[in-house]
Amino acid sequence: MKRNLQGSRFRACSKFPDMFRTLHIATYNIHKGFSHFNRRLMVHELRENLQGIGADLIFLQEVQGVHEEHALTHENWPEAPQYEFLAESAWPEFAYGKNAVYEEGHHGNAILSRFPILSWDNFDISGHRFESRGLLHCEVEVPSWDRHLHCICIHMGLSSRVRRKQIAALEKKIEEIVPQDSPLIVAGDFNDWSCRAGRIMVHGKPMNEVFEITRGKMARSFPSALPLFRLDRIYVRGFNVRAAAVHQGQPWSRISDHAPLSTTLVLK
């Protein structure tokens, strides 16, 4: 799903100042809008704090599209799907990829964008029928850029064997649908407890992970109250990485079991 972004658009080459080539990106597993162990509905606080990050694009995992039971039992459950509710007033465009479908509803990945989403697709990369996973791809038009930005939001499986297959599927899909000269961002929850899925190879070259560039190792993002495990990642191609941050502590440790990650990128 998407809404049109109104306003002027113009083209320019990379000689423009950094302000025209800079993006602020965030990724977050929002735990279907609930706190740890589903104790509290946090989607309202989540929206407020996401807006505070000020990201141009946000890659979200475990986004609740519909849940009929929650809508009946929680008096402040949003009328709109979570991706639309979270995007309201801050991100004029959004795309949602439905992955897990069950009797009460469904959930999946979402990308929220300040810029026009020209097209999007959702690809099933589930390892087995008990664990539905997806790969959401968007092609985005950023004003002043002479190439379209490609974004992939991913949520990988719990098994290392399944993750290896999903990494291979991701690499193959990128080579099929993303031009070699296009800027690319891959972000999401890799569930990589053992840190063995650290490389994404595309056209024979590795993509760069922003925390490896800025800190020498991937970020600790889980559990959010005291991050120990490096589950969440942001990989980029065609960018210089200016900064990267883990948003931990209050209020984030109350909102979800993951901590959000953000980065500032400059188009090469």
Please write the tens of the pLDDT for every residue from 28-44: 999 998 987 677 899 99
Confidence band for 229, pLDDT divided at 50, 70 and 90: very high
Residue 176 has pLDDT above 80, yes or no: yes
Q: Which CATH architecture is the domain 20-267 placed in?
A: 4-Layer Sandwich (3.60)
Mean pLDDT of 124-147: 91
d(CA 117, CA 49): 23
For 3-32, what is the mean pLDDT?
67
Q: What's the pLDDT score for residue 32?
A: 92
What does the pLDDT average to over 69-97?
93
Report the pLDDT value the prediction gives residue 17, as an integer from 0 to 100: 65
* pLDDT in the model for residue 7: 33
pLDDT of residue 211: 97
> Which residues pair with residue 136 across a beta bridge?
122, 153
Closest CA to 103 of 80, 70, 131, 134: 70
| In the chain, where the domains are located | 20-267
pLDDT value of residue 37:
66
CA dist 114 → 2, 63, 159 (Å): 11, 19, 34
Rounded distance between C-alpha atoms, residue 239 and residue 214, angstroms: 13
Residue 6: pLDDT band with limits 50, 70, 90: very low
Residues with Cβ < 8 Å from 185, sequence gap 6 or more?
Answer: 25, 57, 59, 149, 150, 151, 152, 234, 235, 236, 237, 239, 265
